[in-house]
Structure 1
Amino acid sequence: MTDRDDAARDRSRWSDLDRPPLDGTALRRGLVRQGGLWTDVEVVQRTGSTNSDLVSRAAEGRAGEGVVLVAEEQTAARGRLDRRWTAPPRSGLFFSVLLAPGEVPVARWGWLPLLTGVAVATGLSRAAGVDTALKWPNDLLVTVGGAERKAGGILAERAGDAGVVIGVGINVTLRADELPVPTAGSLALAGAVSTDRDTLLRGVLRALEQWYGRWRAADGDPGPSGLQETYAAGCATLGRTVRAELPGDRAVTGEAVAVDGDGRLVLATAEGVRQPIGAGDIVHLRPA
């Protein structure tokens, strides 16, 4: 890449006035404080994947708990099972955080992506005024034209002994003609009262700090922390009949009746069996 290319990209940051760039300095000033969870907020113009970058930094000892890495554009963003996530520059929030809940039993770390979902939904409800719902295990849903649409996703990855990197992608200002698939949506299309990404990011990160603190204080127990109850209350999957597609061309169909203490989705099958499904086991979850 040439210096001319870099200069052109920098000028283009201001070419779409509906999508102004994030202010990294202001974000650090508003989020990083003594005794708080967030220790640094870095905004980069372009990268492959904030999750990949932060996992590498953490594994090499170049990042500690509370680091937030935000990208204005990602060229190799990933979802679960390495599914691609694409969006125009500055059209959403694309960021990753490093969490290191060392005192919490590792068996309970599987709640971290669900906790992040609760925090994202909470933060967006307050900052954007949009009703959001969670599709187990890692999707954020909004309502567009009376239909549920996916507006965001969450990806959790271990970073060796350094902790867990949680990646979040949220469609903020995507227009209908920019949606990657017909089932996608955005906060703007859902009627958000604000699409100011600085405000939205602060709201989400503050909610994440609060929920993470409650969860850690309860030693990661989703019951006493209120996480299990809150997740269930906002989970659009519960009460619906779904088909869980598993590796090896296996599938389980049943009504989603609960999220258990391990964060697994419990399906009540026609045979009267209650079958728990773990997030790490599922390939697709579809309406039956």
Structure 2
Amino acid sequence: MSSEPSAGASAGRWSSLDRPPLNAAALRRALVVEGGLWTSLEVVPATGSTNTDLAARAASLPEGAVLVAEEQTAGRGRLDRTWTAPARSGLFFSVLLKPGGGVPQERWGWLTLLAGVATAQGLSRAAGVDAVLKWPNDLLVGVDGEERKTGGILAERVAGGPSPAEGSGGGVVVGIGLNVTLTEDELPVPAAGSLLLAKASVTDREPLLKAVLRSLEELYGNWREAGGDPAESGLQEVYAAGCATLGRHVRAELPGGRTLTGTAEAVDADGRLVIRTLEGGREAVGAGDVVHLRSVR
């Protein structure tokens, strides 16, 4: 990993005085505390993908490692899509979670949805923005009356580490990408958004990152204490409450080229989206791309 530059050393490379570098030491003081989830926090000037980097080191790191990049040159989203943005215009970070033997691995899929809820809640608290989720984990904000994607989450399984307390089942690297100060001219696609465009009350990345990580720590602790049970931990209910997909007419583009159109009715105990089809049947979708439709087609 590259060493962290000091604020003075990096000042000449700022693309804008509104986009200062993150203060890694201050973030560590606030987040890496005794008895807390976060055990380390590193900020690098640039990397290809924080998920790739953290996954490569996961077996030798304890749970709670956080890796943040000021810029990602090969960021990845769901379905192998790329995620790019100007340096210091967003939050690009990954965290290492190791639920261990206390949570059955079949429930680990909920970590993606949990991270989505944590991000939405953290932004609501810190930036006063009304963020909602499009199943499973796209973060939407309102820009000029339209739903715009401003963030996404990618979770990947990793091999286990040496600590017996963490079990031998490995862990999950959860990557979060969030557009913060992107302008209209900088958006990768017209349907994208940013907190700036959503008129968020705060676009300083440090309080935003702290808010999201603290929310993630709280939700993860409750979920883990409940053995990963989404109902007992309250995760299933809170996800449904913040999911803009439920109750909407949708088209699910499924693996293999099949499409399914209907009304999104629920998120089941496995985190799948339950769709009532136009023919009246119900089907649970576990993977695929969901498009919100304005009307039944």
TM-score (ref. length: structure 1): 0.93
Matching residue of 2:155: 156
User: Which secondary structure does the structure 1 equivalent of 2:72 belong to?
Assistant: coil
Matching residue of 2:96: 98
C-alpha contact (below 8 Å) 2:21/2:88 kept by paired residues: yes
CA distance in 2, matches of 1:156, 1:51: 8
CA distance in 1, matches of 2:205, 2:248: 33
| CA apart distance, 1:185 | 0.4
Q: Does 1:259 align with 2:278?
A: no
Matching residue of 2:78: 80
Unmatched 5+ stretches in structure 1: 1-8
Matching residue of 1:268: 276
Q: Does 1:286 align with 2:294?
A: no
CA distance in 1, matches of 2:119, 2:273: 20
Q: Does 1:230 align with 2:238?
A: yes
C-alpha contact (below 8 Å) 2:21/2:70 kept by paired residues: yes
C-alpha contact (below 8 Å) 1:255/1:268 kept by paired residues: yes
Matching residue of 2:145: 146
C-alpha contact (below 8 Å) 1:13/1:20 kept by paired residues: no
Aligned mate of 2:65, from 37, 43, 67: 67
| Cα deviations by residue, 1:137-179 (Å, 9 ceiling, x for unpaired) | 1200000000000000000000122300000000000011111
Q: How does 1:201-212 map to 2 (within 5 A)?
A: 201-212=209-220
CA distance in 2, matches of 1:228, 1:111: 9
C-alpha contact (below 8 Å) 1:129/1:194 kept by paired residues: yes
| CA apart distance, 1:10 | 3.6
Identity, % of aligned positions: 68
Matching residue of 1:28: 28
Matching residue of 2:163: none
Unmatched 5+ stretches in structure 2: 1-8, 161-169
| CA apart distance, 1:13 | 3.9
| Cα deviations by residue, 1:171-223 (Å, 9 ceiling, x for unpaired) | 00001111111100000110111111010000000000000000001100111
| Cα deviations by residue, 1:8-64 (Å, 9 ceiling, x for unpaired) | x94544352100100000000000111100000100000000000000011xx3322
User: Which secondary structure does the structure 2 equivalent of 1:95 belong to?
Assistant: strand
C-alpha contact (below 8 Å) 1:124/1:200 kept by paired residues: yes
CA distance in 1, matches of 2:61, 2:232: 31
Matching residue of 1:4: none
CA distance in 1, matches of 2:193, 2:290: 18
* One-letter identity of the residue aligned with 2:122: G
CA distance in 2, matches of 1:285, 1:209: 28
* One-letter identity of the residue aligned with 2:200: A
Count of matched residue pairs: 275
Q: Does 1:219 align with 2:227?
A: yes
* One-letter identity of the residue aligned with 2:284: P
* One-letter identity of the residue aligned with 1:164: V
CA distance in 2, matches of 1:236, 1:12: 42
CA RMSD between the two structures: 1.1
* One-letter identity of the residue aligned with 2:148: R
* One-letter identity of the residue aligned with 1:126: R
| Cα deviations by residue, 1:107-163 (Å, 9 ceiling, x for unpaired) | 100100100000000100000110000000120000000000000000000012230
| Cα deviations by residue, 1:201-258 (Å, 9 ceiling, x for unpaired) | 0000000000000000110011111100100000000011111111222111110000
Which aligned runs of 4 or more in structure 1 are off by greater than 3 angstroms?
A: 9-15
CA distance in 1, matches of 2:231, 2:256: 33
